[in-house]
A and B are shown apart, each in its own frame.
Chain A
Amino acid sequence: MDAFILQILNGLDKGSAYALIALGLTLIFGTLGVVNFAHGALFMIGAFVAVTMQKVLNLSTELVDPTKKDFLGNPLMVKTPYVENWFGESAGQFIINWSVPLSILAAIPIMLAIGFIMERGLIRHFYKRPHADQILVTFGLAIVLQEIVKAFFGANPIQTPAPDALNGVVNMGAWLNMSLSYPLWRIVYFCFAAIIIFGVFAFLQFTTFGMVVRAGMADRETVGLLGINIDKRFTIMFAIAASVAGLAGVMYAPINPPNYHWGMDFLVLSFVVVVVGGMGSLPGAVLAGFLLGILESFASTTWATTTIPGINQIIIYLVAIIILLTRPRGLMGRKGVMEE
């Protein structure tokens, strides 16, 4: 029983990442009708916002301290980060330590801007082109973004630790008299993902803006005829979808050190998630994300890998193939979306 719950927990953090990326993808697809192959790259950029934030906060002044010597006997160079100079030592160290959560604040405007520029600058010109062209141009964009990040940060993964306070292991099963030790940051990630997902749904469900967007998703033309500038709202939705992917990336950085080809790695999986959930269905994307994450974690258990070797590598694709062939619309797909 312990092991069972632990596997579900293990699946939740990966599932949260899948769900967040897939949510953004579906949002873009449902509103603008664009298949965005660069969405994984947005996730990767989010992670690198966290990396940059960490680097920026660690910018230091170097002073020679004549009273101390290093091991060679030379005067010691003491590095003091600027934030420590400005806010005092303890507050400065606290800020540096919390760089990942702090980067959320930076990531939101950055990702909104990137999303806005992407939509207005590039994707807007592809609405009337075939889906194949949209896939191709965003695929090209994904390569470009990935290479830019590689040029700046190099090809190696960069460690981005979570704050010390959130870095430990907690016993999840204490109140159930079970021993389930589980990394605290992954629980934080799951809660964070849940908040974002609820936020997006609430935004769409309970605001006028969201109502208009939903109306536009259902019938874009009529909404336009009613005198509403639906394109403008869809652009904003694109930017929001981009920032959802970016935030997913920011918070994922401590779980797995980010490197430049994260985007491509997660892209394939999140597309599979979207298709399994049903193209254009927001709840479907979230459901499928968690489902596939949990399935993957169950397939990685020793029991599963000894019964069917390598099942952990292929389970997601296998499930996707089965679902696509038996339920062509995915788990919760609507009728008439992407059906030729």
Chain B
Amino acid sequence: MLKLDKKDTTLFLVVIAMTLLAPFIMNPFPTDSGLAQFNAGYPDLMQRFAIFGIFAIGFNILFGLTGYLSFGHAAFLGVGSYAAVWMFKLLSFNILPAIFLAVLVAAIFSLAIGFVCLRRSGIYFSILTLAFAQMSFAMAYSVLSNPSFNLTNGETGLQVYADDPQILKGSGPDATHLFGLEMRNTFTLDVGAWAFQFNLGFYICAMFLILAFYISLRIFRSPFGLILRAIKTNQTRLNFTGTNSRPYTLAAFVISGMYAGLAGGLMAAMDPLAGAERMQWTASGEVVLMTILGGAGTLLGPILGAGFIKYFENIFSKINDSVLQSWFSFMPDGLSDFFVSIVHPFVGKGWHLTLGLLFMLVVTFLPGGLVEGGQKIWSRLRNKDKDGGAKSTATTPAE
């Protein structure tokens, strides 16, 4: 099916099932139970899962396959967002032209930046992309928002105002929509104590995520993907065989830039806003974290990493002292206070501390990320239990 071999088809089907059934999977706890705070099945968060999944898949095509570590990928995401919001301002709230322009603009932008940056490799490449991204950020923040030529609306962020032209709007809805179907439409299904939310915006993102995953799968399995991997393994030797690697790296850079643009466009489509902080280098750092944490160079890794980070970011920041107190309340008073004070710095506002520590641990001990960890556990289980050995792992690393 779809020119995939059997194993890849299984993997692809698993991803499709996981994405489409996300409202169920993310919502395992009944609504009014104490564990409901661990539910992630609400539209806003699920949309972010899908969007950052796309972003990380795209980043992985560049970093996971070619080994070029870009520290400026958020610039393309930001550019995509701005392009999409401009489409909303000028045409209408229909998301299709917005997403199309977002991808197109990100492609052009990444072609220009990639053409310059890819003349160098290694650390120099990282610094060059970082410099370009910071430059874009600074320009979006200040220069491009002067009264005579207001492209980005500076600190406030670009948004749609009532007096914007919106020439195609007519009698269309006043929120982002796809031919009249509003993104915020949510259908809630009550099953017993559970409330499952099906949000149109999420399903749009999910369709794009599935498409993005399929394309990345095909790239991984293609001769083009092989050349990209050869670049990572030994670029000098590849050059000796008479292959000019520059067009390939540039293609990978532009593809991953387009993925970032798509993610940015979707972000704007879910919430018609675009701010410069999306382009800051810490935002680029975040996608690096996601990809590495999940497993760079693997197909599933980036999605897992994006989901993992976004999930825990949301859940951890909700855990405050009173929640902690209720967890440790079974202990004697002094002991529970002690544990609360130990855990306190790592949750709530301290989520980044946990993330940083976790990231360091992963880079040090598990360079293949969560996917490698999963495979290790799986193979250990399989050695113990020979009967289950016939099944294959759902994840396929690149190397």
Which residues of A pack against B, CB within 8 Å? Answer: 35, 122, 125-126, 129-133, 135-137, 139-144, 146-148, 151, 264, 268, 271-272, 275, 279, 309-310, 313-314, 317-318, 320-321, 324-325, 328, 338, 340
Q: Does B226 sit at the interface, judged by CB under 8 A?
A: no
Which listed residue (A144, A310, A340) contacts B360, Cβ 8 A? A144
Contact with A along B65-79 (1 / 0, CB 8 A): 001010000000000
Which 3 pairs across A and B sit closest by C-beta, in order of nearness? A310-B143, A143-B356, A313-B138
Q: Are A324 and B127 in contact (CB under 8 A)?
A: yes
Contact flag A143-B355 (CB < 8 Å), given A132-B67, A133-B367, A318-B135: yes
Binds A, one of B118-126, B161-169, B374-382: B118-126
Least CB distance, A140 to chain B, in whole angstroms: 4
Q: Inside 8 A of A135's CB, which chain B residues have their CB?
A: 69, 123, 126
Contact flag A125-B364 (CB < 8 Å), given A318-B135, A325-B119: yes
In the docked arrangement, what's the CA distance between A136 and B131, Å? 18
Which listed residue (B132, B144, B146) contacts A321, Cβ 8 A? B132
User: 5 A–B contact pairs at CB < 8 A?
Assistant: A133-B363, A144-B356, A271-B130, A325-B120, A338-B123
Least CB distance, A142 to chain B, in whole angstroms: 8
Q: Inside 8 A of A146's CB, which chain B residues have their CB?
A: 352
Q: Inside 8 A of A272's CB, which chain B residues have their CB?
A: 127, 130-131
Q: Inside 8 A of A317's CB, which chain B residues have their CB?
A: 131-132, 134-135, 138
Chain B, interface SS category: helix
Q: Does B287 sit at the interface, judged by CB under 8 A?
A: no
Least CB distance, A151 to chain B, in whole angstroms: 5
Q: Inside 8 A of A125's CB, which chain B residues have their CB?
A: 364
Contact flag A313-B139 (CB < 8 Å), given A132-B67, A135-B126, A140-B356: yes
Q: Inside 8 A of B121's CB, which chain A residues have their CB?
A: 340
Q: Does B84 sit at the interface, judged by CB under 8 A?
A: no
In the docked arrangement, what's the CA distance between A309 and B149, Å? 11
In the docked arrangement, what's the CA distance between A268 and B124, Å? 13
Q: Inside 8 A of B122's CB, which chain A residues have their CB?
A: 131, 338, 340
Which listed residue (A133, A309, A318, A328) contacts B120, Cβ 8 A? A328
Q: Inside 8 A of A148's CB, which chain B residues have their CB?
A: 353
11 other contacts beyond A146-B352, A310-B142, A338-B122, with CB at 8 A cut-off? A144-B353, A151-B345, A264-B282, A275-B123, A275-B127, A279-B123, A309-B143, A313-B135, A314-B139, A325-B116, A340-B121
Q: Are B126 and A151 in contact (CB under 8 A)?
A: no
Q: Inside 8 A of A325's CB, which chain B residues have their CB?
A: 116, 119-120
Q: Does B56 sit at the interface, judged by CB under 8 A?
A: no
Which listed residue (A122, A140, A340) contacts B359, Cβ 8 A? A140
The listed residue with most A CB atoms (<10 A of its CB), out of B67, B138, B355, is: B138
Q: Are B123 and A310 in contact (CB under 8 A)?
A: no
Which listed residue (A35, A143, A318, A338) contacts B352, Cβ 8 A? A143
Q: Inside 8 A of A338's CB, which chain B residues have their CB?
A: 122-124
Q: Inside 8 A of A140's CB, which chain B residues have their CB?
A: 356-357, 359-360, 363
Which listed residue (B123, B353, B360) contacts A151, Cβ 8 A? B353
Least CB distance, B330 to chain A, in whole angstroms: 27
In the docked arrangement, what's the CA distance between A131 and B356, Å? 19
Q: Are B350 and A151 in contact (CB under 8 A)?
A: yes
Least CB distance, B106 to chain A, in whole angstroms: 20
Q: Are B123 and A35 in contact (CB under 8 A)?
A: yes
In the docked arrangement, what's the CA distance between A130 and B296, Å? 14
Closest to B236 in A: A340
Q: Does B292 sit at the interface, judged by CB under 8 A?
A: yes
Closest to B292 in A: A136
Q: Inside 8 A of A122's CB, which chain B residues have their CB?
A: 360, 364
In the docked arrangement, what's the CA distance between A265 and B148, Å? 30
Q: Does B173 sit at the interface, judged by CB under 8 A?
A: no
Q: Does B285 sit at the interface, judged by CB under 8 A?
A: yes
In the docked arrangement, what's the CA distance between A35 and B123, Å? 8
Q: Does B93 sit at the interface, judged by CB under 8 A?
A: no
Least CB distance, A334 to chain B, in whole angstroms: 15
Q: Does B235 sit at the interface, judged by CB under 8 A?
A: yes
Q: Inside 8 A of A268's CB, which chain B residues have their CB?
A: 130, 134, 281
Q: Are B353 and A147 in contact (CB under 8 A)?
A: yes
Q: Does B128 sit at the interface, judged by CB under 8 A?
A: yes
Q: Inside 8 A of A129's CB, which chain B residues have their CB?
A: 367
Contact flag A271-B119 (CB < 8 Å), given A137-B363, A140-B360: no
In the docked arrangement, what's the CA distance between A143 and B288, Å? 13
Q: Inside 8 A of A136's CB, which chain B residues have their CB?
A: 288, 292, 359, 363
Closest to B359 in A: A140
The listed residue with most B CB atoms (<10 A of its CB), out of A122, A136, A137, is: A136
Q: Inside 8 A of B123's CB, which chain A residues have their CB?
A: 35, 131, 135, 275, 279, 338
Least CB distance, B136 to chain A, in whole angstroms: 9
Q: Are B363 and A314 in contact (CB under 8 A)?
A: no
In the docked arrangement, what's the CA distance between A325 and B119, Å? 8
Least CB distance, A144 to chain B, in whole angstroms: 4
Q: Are A147 and B350 in contact (CB under 8 A)?
A: yes
Q: Inside 8 A of A271's CB, which chain B residues have their CB?
A: 127, 130
Q: Are A321 and B116 in contact (CB under 8 A)?
A: yes
In the docked arrangement, what's the CA distance between A268 and B128, Å? 11
Closest to A339 in B: B122
In the docked arrangement, what's the CA distance between A218 and B140, Å? 44
Contact flag A320-B345 (CB < 8 Å), given A125-B364, A144-B356, A340-B121: no
In B265-308, the 8 Å CB interface with A consists of 281-282, 285, 288, 292
Q: Are B131 and A320 in contact (CB under 8 A)?
A: yes
Q: Inside 8 A of B69's CB, which chain A residues have their CB?
A: 132, 135
Contact flag A324-B134 (CB < 8 Å), given A137-B363, A147-B353, A313-B139: no
